[in-house]
A and B are shown apart, each in its own frame.
Chain A
Amino acid sequence: MFGYSGKILHIDLTERKTWVEEKPEDWYKTWIGGVSMATRLCWENIKPGCDAYSPDNPVCIANGIFAGTPVPVGGKYGLASKSPQTGMIGDSLSGSWFTIALKRANWDGVVIHGASEKWVNIFIDDDRVEFRDATKLLGKGTFETEEAIRDGLADDQVRSATIGPSGENMVRFANVTNDGRQAGRTGHGAVWGSKKLKAVSVRGTHGIPVADPETLNQLAFDITKEAQGPHTSKYRLLGTSTNVLNMNKLGLLPTRNYQEGVFEDAEKVSGEYLHDHHKVKTIACAQCPIACEQMSVVKSGPWEGSMTGIEYECLFANGSNLGINDMNAVIKLISIADGSGMDAITMGLTISWAMETFEKGIFKKEDFKCKKYPEGFELKFGNGEAAVTTAELIRDREGIGKVLSEGTHVASQMIDKERGTETWKWTMQAKGLETAGYDGRGLKTFALGSAVGVRGPCHNRTAAYDPDIQGEVDRFKVDERRGELAKDTEEYAAVYDTLPLCKFIRRCFTGKADRAGAWPTIAKLINATTGWEFKYEDVDLIGVRAHTIKKAFNIREGWKREDDTIPYRWMHDPMTKGPSAGHVVSDEELEYMKDLYYTAKGWTKEGMIPKQQLIELGMPDVAEQIGV
């Protein structure tokens, strides 16, 4: 078998033992890698119905086909566990060296079971596994943890996926970081924290043989060169942060906890401003010739020296969404999230929820008493120092941070129960996961994509904003095409998330990003790596299967049709300003679009998957368990 070792490494933290599971080639042809394989491993190894923080919830890591080869942007891995935020599948992706080291250690995937009594750093040294004491790593930030492990092992080629203080404190939306990149969403860091798993480190020394290196090299070389052209210029020059002004123009830039879609100071928290005033360097993930990470620094003031990589989602969440027009505060906020290992989107949306709750008089100054401000402080929109302090309280679970570190869904339940309020009405979340930086009131296909998202409302898993923004459909109206569009865009995204390839490469195969433009070349890349004979239809099936196993996982965990929803605000509070003012997604519209979507998927009206469909997709055991 080329492209895979055929081996999955199982590690039991409770018993401190390991075993190897061999998988047949057909299993890899079905599940491929990335989020699909990680979810499948989770399906096979979890105890259904378990609590996300229980030892029965496994950590599942899956490499991709292309990790460690010159195939551009193929250095990514999938990470899956049951999410403590949603209680459903938590599937994330992260790029860079960690996955390549794992591939070179000859493992296709790793499943970590149980929970440790003491803080542990798993060290996978080719085929040897060591349980290292992690006590000395506690309290260290993500980057420092990686460096300390490298120093301790005296090998700068050791790569680690780690949690920071947020994960140690089980902030519900803590994440896992490797090489400065995050498996960012759905709370993996909290799951690792619940297992006292501080880091997984890998040293892999083997070469990676592929079936047809000459063909693969030629394809990779051509794509690498194409990736320096106009198809990626947006990502190379400004990164995705350029979206701030674009979204503002469309009235879709979340402002002050999504109360509005235009921000009067958008210019000051835009990608352009960031580039001109704060950018230090553009860097790449391993194996990526594009390089989109805009490393940005605070040059003066109280937060001088704070530095991190910035992209659109964390920028909107901690800029316009907090009403903050000071880029120094925004960089500081994002660097707190990245350095301590938590999801910068959820952190921003949790602070914005708290700000609105404060401005509505439910939170009082004294709720924010802390060591730094013994009398408390006023958490108002636009107040950078207050937001930064709140982020630190969340990270450390200090004072009000104990509540806010649960994310908006759980935090609002706690506050509403305690104070008899309805703060849940301005939580910008569905299924427990906070929304992305595109406002569904002005993007109705995206509203549907967000509602049916298997890991919650996520811009990465559904590209349903595309037809809305490109003008393929009327973004304010609902029509019978929306079900198909939501299905097509999420299954398209799932192909990339499964190989995995970063989606920023999508136009570099032929200039066209659609299936016809990308799938034939992707099939060639797969075949040159593995020696398989994949065709267009097989590439398409990768996405269908990936999405289906994630949905199946959710169904087994108790998912119901009513879980497919969007934030209350998108359905009831129209914006008052800008090009998207006056619109909401009504209950009828949402339910109509869900009907269209389930029909397009070939599911029942209740959103269940027919047995026959699962069997045809090559998942008889899934059909047996959840098929109808």
Chain B
Amino acid sequence: MPLSTSKYRYIDCDPDLCIGCQICEYVCSYSKTGEYNTYRSRIRTVRVDEVLITALACRTCENAPCVVACPQNALTQHPETGIIMVDAQKCDACAWCIEACDFGAISINPASKLAEMCDQCEELEEGPQCVKWCPKEALSLTTPDQQGQKARKAAIKSIKDEILPVIPLKETTC
């Protein structure tokens, strides 16, 4: 599976922290539809083999395959934020974008018959509601570079015992 090499921010989920509670789906569907319905959530939790759990939303890929795939040219990508925008006049719900997305981050709204995906709650001052609500702070609005920084820190923490044997490790798991 190709990883995003995007410069844009996206909602990332740390699978070590995610507990699979789906609270992100409730608040997402509520803020987008006014009702609690995880079917209409633009972020989806996935659980495989009982313990592999994470949440996925649009990763704002650079040269986004969904935009390329759309035969109606209904999808465009914001040049600064990378957020995918859907032209309601052009989208005909053909679902090619869904097939093009490697992360399963797009769905067709059964009422409006339009493609929809995470827009990072850009209309809200306080930002993405899923990030705000996530009880385990597993979700963050981040970029691949910031993820790299986090990984480097985690890597050095994992060898902390060898380099700083006197400092007790703080409990960090949930």
A-to-B contact residues, CB < 8 Å: 68-70, 97, 100, 104, 143, 157, 180, 205-210, 213, 217, 221, 224-225, 227-228, 236-237, 280-291, 295, 307
> Whole-angstrom distance between the alpha carbons of A560 and B73 in the complex?
75
- Collect the chain A residues with CB atoms within 8 Å of residue B30's CB: 70, 213, 217
Once A217-B30, A291-B136, A295-B50 are accepted as A-B contacts, the answer to whether A284 and B19 lie under 8 Å apart by CB is yes
By the criterion CB–CB under 8 Å, are B173 and A282 in contact?
yes
By the criterion CB–CB under 8 Å, are B23 and A287 in contact?
yes
Q: How many residues on chain B are close to A (CB under 8 Å)?
A: 27
> Whole-angstrom distance between the alpha carbons of A610 and B126 in the complex?
57
Once A68-B36, A213-B30 are accepted as A-B contacts, the answer to whether A286 and B50 lie under 8 Å apart by CB is no
Interface status of B40 (Cβ within 8 A of chain A) = yes
By the criterion CB–CB under 8 Å, are A209 and B35 in contact?
yes
Of B34, B36, B110, B174, which contacts A291 at CB under 8 A?
B174
> Whole-angstrom distance between the alpha carbons of A205 and B111 in the complex?
12
Once A207-B29, A289-B21 are accepted as A-B contacts, the answer to whether A281 and B51 lie under 8 Å apart by CB is yes
Of B21, B29, B40, B136, which contacts A287 at CB under 8 A?
B21
> Whole-angstrom distance between the alpha carbons of A280 and B173 in the complex?
11
Main secondary structure of the interface of B (DSSP, over half): loop
19 intermolecular pairs with C-beta atoms under 8 Å apart: A69-B26, A70-B27, A70-B30, A104-B38, A180-B50, A208-B37, A213-B30, A213-B34, A217-B30, A237-B171, A280-B51, A281-B51, A288-B19, A288-B21, A289-B21, A289-B23, A291-B21, A291-B136, A307-B50
Output the least CB separation between B94 and chain A (Å). Answer: 20
- Collect the chain B residues with CB atoms within 8 Å of residue A283's CB: 19-20, 50-51, 53
Output the least CB separation between B39 and chain A (Å). Answer: 5
By the criterion CB–CB under 8 Å, are B36 and A208 in contact?
yes
Interface status of B22 (Cβ within 8 A of chain A) = yes
By the criterion CB–CB under 8 Å, are A289 and B135 in contact?
yes
- Collect the chain B residues with CB atoms within 8 Å of residue A289's CB: 21, 23, 135-136
Once A68-B36, A70-B26, A70-B36 are accepted as A-B contacts, the answer to whether A295 and B21 lie under 8 Å apart by CB is no
> Whole-angstrom distance between the alpha carbons of A283 and B50 in the complex?
9
> Whole-angstrom distance between the alpha carbons of A402 and B50 in the complex?
31
- Collect the chain A residues with CB atoms within 8 Å of residue B110's CB: 205
Residue ID in chain A nearest B37 by CB atoms = A207
Of B21, B27, B39, B40, which contacts A285 at CB under 8 A?
B21
Of B26, B40, B171, B174, which contacts A282 at CB under 8 A?
B174
**8 A-B pairs closest in CB distance:** A207-B35, A289-B135, A207-B37, A291-B19, A284-B19, A284-B21, A281-B51, A70-B26
Residue ID in chain B nearest A70 by CB atoms = B26
> Whole-angstrom distance between the alpha carbons of A237 and B171 in the complex?
9
- Collect the chain A residues with CB atoms within 8 Å of residue B19's CB: 282-284, 288, 291
Most buried by A among B35, B135, B173: B135
